[in-house]
Structure 1
Amino acid sequence: MQLLKYKKDILDQEGIQRVLTRISHEILEKNKGLEDLVIIGIRTRGVPLAERIADKIAEIEGEEVQVGVLDITLYRDDLTTVAQQPIVHQTEIPFDITDKKIVLVDDVLYTGRTVRSALDALIDLGRPQAIQLAILVDRGHRELPIRADFVGKNLPTSDEEVVEVKLNEVDDDEEVILMEHQD
């Protein structure tokens, strides 16, 4: 296993908040309000981001938006390379997604494979009106024809670099940093 070394700061706590506020406004603008809108976070770091976006939208609109949690472990095409015995968490979507406008939220968009797995999982649950993608950091290098509708930060990277997202709810820290593999 290669070690990573710090390269540079991308977003601090205030930067993350600003980006999520902007994304929340863009979601409302694109969807012309809250009608039929739900937000679903991809486990792990997509979940707190989805909850924060939902809170920001409630603050702006004065109305709650439903939030769900999607676990894509069993939908991954790299399941055997992830772990010998992958840990499967629960998908928690306590509402029908049929005919809903879903905003799918994740932290980093890279190859597109995680999003493809999430789309498969969602389609197994119902037939949404639309699925839109909100991403904190888009680092490029797509292997599949997937692009985000809402992007916090576009960050061109090399294959040797790693985008590390830390959120208080998961990591007891709040930042986005760029790391690189050590030789």
Structure 2
Amino acid sequence: MTATKNTILTHQEIQHKIRRIAYQIYESNVSEKEVILAGIDSNGYLLAQKLKATLDEISDITTVLCKVIIDKKHPLEAVKTSLKEEEYTNKSIVLVDDVLNSGSTLIYGVKHFLNVPLKQFKTVVLVNRNHKKYPVKADFKGISLSTSIKEHVEVILEGDTYEAFLQ
């Protein structure tokens, strides 16, 4: 039996979602001079890059990218970031990932940033699957999707055509 690929977001729809989420980030940080976009490696970071480009276009807020590296096979290992703690202390942080499935990746990312005082902390996902194992939610999401546990959501944010599909 072959897996079928059902497109849930087209390139244009993803671009619209990114723009809408960027405006939501801007609205929740309108009084800030700087916002840290912390993208979870790898697709979360790609999404953060796209959000940064849109935020730079629509606002005068300085946006700083931060890569968040979480070992998904060993999530209790230390989380690594491309910025030092003092670079995001007392700043507004937006943690970005492509898909919120069980919530484990997001919760470990959130836990890491709780070690330092922050002004504000928000979360962004492109696809929220509603299968949370942990009490974590996305403040801003592109789409909420009810799926079965056996289904898999794949998001492609590289190349000329972006796509999100269900397998």
Measured against the shorter chain, the TM-score band is 0.7 to 0.9
TM-score by length of 2: 0.88
What is aligned with 1:149? 139
Q: CA RMSD in A?
A: 2.5
What is aligned with 1:70? 68
What is aligned with 1:177? 165
Ranges in structure 1 where 5+ consecutive residues have no aligned partner: 80-87
Please identify the structure whose Cα radius of gyration is greater. 1
Gap change, CA 1:127 and 1:116, over 3 Å in 2:
same
Secondary structure at the residue paired with 1:73? coil
Aligned length: 166
Partner residue of 2:92 out of 96, 101, 114: 101
Q: Letter of the 1:106 partner, please give it.
A: D
- The 1-side partners of 2:28 and 2:50 are apart by 18
Gap change, CA 1:4 and 1:96, over 3 Å in 2:
farther
How far the C-alpha of 1:90 sits from its partner, in A, is 5.8
How far the C-alpha of 1:130 sits from its partner, in A, is 2.2
How far the C-alpha of 1:168 sits from its partner, in A, is 1.1
Q: What are the within-5 Å matches in structure 2 for residues 27-176 of structure 1?
A: 27-73=25-71, 76-77=74-75, 91-93=81-83, 96-124=87-115, 126-168=116-158, 174-176=162-164
- The 1-side partners of 2:2 and 2:121 are apart by 34
- The 1-side partners of 2:19 and 2:104 are apart by 26
TM-score by length of 1: 0.80
| Paired residues of 2:34 and 2:62 also in contact (CA < 8 A) | no
Ranges in structure 2 where 5+ consecutive residues have no aligned partner: none
What is aligned with 1:82? none
